[in-house]
Structure 1
Amino acid sequence: MKAKNKFQQHVIELSKTLPKITEPQKRWAYKHCFNHIGKRNPKGEITCLECGHKWNGGNSPLADAVLGCECPNCNTQLTVSTTRQRVFKETEYFGVVTTCGEFQVLRFFYINAYRKAGQPIKYTCTEVVQRWIAPNGRTAIVARLRCMSIMYYDLWNLSTDLEIRTPHRSHDISPAKYYHRQRFIPKVHRNGFNGKYHKIAPFDLFRTILTNPKAETLLKAGQYALLKHFVYSSTRNIDNYWNSIRIAIRNGYTIEDGSEWCDYIDLLRYFGKDLNNPTYVCPANLKSVHDRLVAKKQARLERERLAEQRQKARENEERFRELKAKFFGISFSDGAIEVRVLESVDEFFEEGKAMHHCVFTNDYYLRPDSLVFSATIDGKRIETVEISLKTLKVVQSRGVCNSSTEYHDQIVKLVNKNKNLISRRLSA
């Protein structure tokens, strides 16, 4: 794609001055980006797929598979694999962190390894992407074209030129290794970078500390976990947490888990706590207080949900009475077990809450052909009984969490014995 502005034109001009990858860099990449394979055949012969040398590996295939071995010809440490496969192909990316002019540059190389038993390995290395970062954080991408594919988005057309390209996820490369010798522009060092990436991709780290002074502060203050979280979180704005972050830094509190700490601050905000108080902001045991507040919030939300549900249900109280008022007052007992009809929506709520089942949440009180009783012993709920008003048969009788109790058969027998009380009300 043709450069559209002076910034992109400048990048292209500088890109043409970048040196080609050196032979030492290639050798380093080939050594560190790939597993080096020794192929063992069923006869115990090992073939080095780096140089093609073959030797008798003896009778220790298990030890070789675990510990590997060293090729006696090229001295390469090999991972031994017992297989009949003869051709091995592998592709990886290799990165170089360098500078050009005033820019921080990340160069990415597409490297291939072609191995065939009995032949020296063949490597190829082609530069496919360059990511340019100006001192003010402005970026540009120089890359080759990609071939059309529904399966692979990084299928490069290696015959095309390196040109300015529109950003695409194929340019977000995570190479197997970055070359160990790296160069950085002065502003990257000035903004707190000391050579360690703290599990953040170099491009993301450089761009963030060059464009966001608060991220620069986190890096300089050693709040690496929090920095990583804000670099990769698309749902959180660092400004919403900045006052609390300043309190943590001022009190020498290092945040070990950025995501959990931000969740914790959100919970403190939900409960109206003082987010400028070090006692809250800098807990000794983050996980413990976080989990406690999560449980507290879940309990509150559950209470609010049930209260809302209960209020909506009360709006159906009149409808419930129209359907079931004629059955109110029905109760019977065998001396130990008492069974009585539920006579209000609130009683359905309390029954469902105590018994941990859905007699309330599934609106049993509005079912025209259903009548619900509560069976108790000495005032303690034992089972909830549903009777069909069409057949006068017990549809179900459930204990806590829909279980059956030791009194189940006795309760069902007692209900069946007193069905005439229900039939009289039906015919009244």
Structure 2
Amino acid sequence: RKRVFRDSAYYEIITTRKGYQVLRYFMVGATYKVGQKAEYSIREVVQWWIAPNGKTEVIARLRAMHTMYYDLWTEWSDMDLRSNKMLKAYNIDAYKTYPAMRIIPELRRNGFKGAFHELTPYEFFTAILTDSKKETLLKAGQTEMFRYAVISNVNLHEYWNSIKICIRNGYHIADASMWCDLVRLLRHFGKDTHCPKYVCPTDLKKVHDRLVRKREEQIERERAEQRREQLVKDEKNYLKSKGKFFGLVFTDNLILVKVIESVAEMQLEGKLMHHCVGSYHKRTDSLILSATIDGKRIETVEVSLTTFKVVQ
């Protein structure tokens, strides 16, 4: 039911100029009004100039940097040199790319064959011109690992020896994130990450998930041991600070009120009575008692050791 509708999209031209790779981005706008012919506009907004060594400069119009809208360009501003620090503002993922591309020979030498593997041309070109390891991944056909290395900034040096084992054995890394996690787990468990048996699994997910479960079980055991050690420490501290009250009991032959004499007993009290008294053993000014009738808990009582009054 809208009477006025506006839309816009980017397209790019990939070309060369005097030995530089140039990426030119244009914004195309369309305005549709009921009963009128559509109006179209087009203007160039960004140019990336990429040298054969991977260094870049950006020429662009001014735009609003602190906004959720990435297409708010200042139309009257000049195409001028801008700061590379605002990369996200100029690294545009165009809707369409002009099919006839002109490419500098250095890019073809470093492995570009026409596909960008779900990366922007800027990300792709700068990656293979500035990083020999990424260039090697592309040429070796490890495109998933190549893409992951570009978008995640993973430290390839950390995995490079294992990657070379995969390349040497013709193993294609289909899920780079999972594979890197696998290598980290293998290292943790002391396995040889130079061995094809470990770094080239037939079923990556199955092996990865098994090691993840093993690590989770290990972490849980470590936490249980830490909890046990802390409990022993807490019991000693509790005995030292409240031990002189142990054995203290009040009763009217119906209700029996006794001092809680251990941290474990206090945690059980909190669990069964559904409140937070389980951590009160750390309170220096409090004495915690449990009230029961015929052995059944009915209330937990906190008494101040300063005023000797019931706090709660």
Q: TM-score, normalised by structure 1?
A: 0.59
Residue in structure 1 matched with residue 8 of structure 2 by the alignment? 91
Residue in structure 2 matched with residue 142 of structure 1 by the alignment? 59
Moved more, 111-120 or 306-315: 306-315
- Residue type at the aligned position of 2:149: F
Q: Is 2:174 the partner of 1:256? A: yes
- Residue type at the aligned position of 2:296: V
- Cα distance, 1:364 vs. partner? 6.2
Could you tell me which runs of 5 or more consecutive residues in structure 2 were left unpaired when the two chains were aligned: 248-258, 299-312
Residue in structure 2 matched with residue 23 of structure 1 by the alignment? none
Alpha-carbon separation, structure 1, partners of 2:61 and 2:117? 30
Q: Is the 8 A contact 1:154 1:170 kept in 2?
A: no
Q: Is the 8 A contact 2:31 2:40 kept in 1?
A: yes
- Residue type at the aligned position of 1:292: R
Residue in structure 2 matched with residue 219 of structure 1 by the alignment? 138
- Residue type at the aligned position of 1:258: A
- Residue type at the aligned position of 1:139: T
CA RMSD in angstroms, aligned pairs only? 3.3
Q: Is the 8 A contact 1:260 1:290 kept in 2?
A: yes
Q: Is the 8 A contact 2:92 2:120 kept in 1?
A: no
Moved more, 150-159 or 97-106: 150-159
Residue in structure 2 matched with residue 112 of structure 1 by the alignment? 29
- 1:179-221 per-position Cα deviation (integer Å, ceiling 9, x unaligned): 1221211111111111111111111011000111110110011
- 1:82-124 per-position Cα deviation (integer Å, ceiling 9, x unaligned): x3x2221111111111111211111100110011223322211
Could you tell me which runs of 5 or more consecutive residues in structure 1 were left unpaired when the two chains were aligned: 1-82, 329-340, 371-387, 394-411, 418-428
- Residue type at the aligned position of 1:198: H
- Cα distance, 1:229 vs. partner? 0.8
Residues 210, 348 of structure 1: CA spacing in aligned structure 2 closer, same or farther, 3 A cutoff?
farther
Counterparts in 2 of 1:4-43, with a 5 A limit?
none
- Cα distance, 1:413 vs. partner? 5.7
Residues 269, 166 of structure 1: CA spacing in aligned structure 2 closer, same or farther, 3 A cutoff?
same
Alpha-carbon separation, structure 1, partners of 2:157 and 2:297? 67
Q: What percent of counterpart residues are identical? A: 43
Q: Is 2:116 the partner of 1:197? A: yes
Counterparts in 2 of 1:288-367, with a 5 A limit?
288-322=206-240, 323=242, 362-363=278-279
Q: Is the 8 A contact 2:267 2:279 kept in 1?
A: no
Alpha-carbon separation, structure 1, partners of 2:234 and 2:75? 71
Larger radius of gyration: 1
- 1:202-256 per-position Cα deviation (integer Å, ceiling 9, x unaligned): 110110001111101100111111111110113x210000000000111111011
Alpha-carbon separation, structure 2, partners of 1:161 and 1:149? 20
Q: Is the 8 A contact 1:351 1:359 kept in 2?
A: no
SS at match of 2:296: helix
Alpha-carbon separation, structure 1, partners of 2:156 and 2:110? 18
Residue in structure 1 matched with residue 158 of structure 2 by the alignment? 240
SS at match of 1:315: helix
Counterparts in 2 of 1:36-75, with a 5 A limit?
none
- Cα distance, 1:321 vs. partner? 3.0
Match of 1:182 among 83, 97, 101: 101
Q: TM-score, normalised by structure 2?
A: 0.79
- Cα distance, 1:151 vs. partner? 5.2
